[in-house]
Amino acid sequence: MAPLKAGDKFPDSVKFEWTPITNDDPTACGMPQEYNASQQWKGKKVVLVSVPGAFTPGCQANHLPPYIQNIEKLKGKGVDIVAVIAFNDSWVMSAWGKVNKVSGEDLVSVSHLCIGGGQGGHSDLSAYRRAVEYGLFMSDTKTFFSKNYGWSGLGERNGRWAMVIEKDGTVSYAEVEQSPREVKVSGANAILDQL
C-alpha cells in the first residue's frame, strides 16, 4: 500500500497499543490496551511522528526533545495531540516512558516513548509536564500503520517520518526522512513551518 500523502484522508480503522503508566518502576509491567486512533482523533488536529525504536540514539537525543521544547508553539498553531509511534511492543514503550520520567498523572490519555532530553533529563520540568499532557506515545503493533500507511524502516522497524492530520481527517503534511539518522522533515521545526 502506498504511503498517505497530503490530501488523503486518515483511515477509519487505525489502532495502536499502549500500556498505561501507573508507577515509575520500568521493571513493573501493566496490561496492554487498544487505542482506536481513528475514533479518538476525530475533530482533533494531530501531529503523528514515527520513530525507528524506543531507546535508540536518534530518537532519544535528536528527534523528540524539540517537540517537547516547542509544545506550546504547536498548541498555539492549533495542534491538539502530538502522537509518537514505534514498532516496539507496548511494554517496551511503557518502560521507555518511565525511564524518561513520564507518569500516568502527567498524561491525558496514553503514554510511552521517547520524550526526554539527550540524557533522559528535563531542564524545565513544568515545560515537560505541559508537553506530555498533549502527547500520546504508542506501539505500532496493531494496524502496523507505518508499514501500511506510512513508511517502514530497516527490517520490521518503523521509518522516521511525520504527518499532520487536520480536524476533518485530511492529511495536510506527510514526509519521510531520506536517512533514518536524519531529523529534518520529521522534526518539530519542519512541522511548525508547515502549520
Q: How far apart are CA 103 and CA 7, in angstroms?
A: 36
The active-site residue, picked from 48, 49, 59, 92, is: 59
Name the β-bridge partners of 171.
165
Q: How far apart are CA 195 and CA 181, in angstroms?
A: 24
C-beta of residue 110 within 8 angstroms of C-beta of residue 136: yes
C-beta of residue 143 within 8 angstroms of C-beta of residue 17: no
Q: Is 114 a catalytic residue?
A: no
Q: Cell 503514554 sits at which residue?
A: 111
Residues known to be catalytic: 59
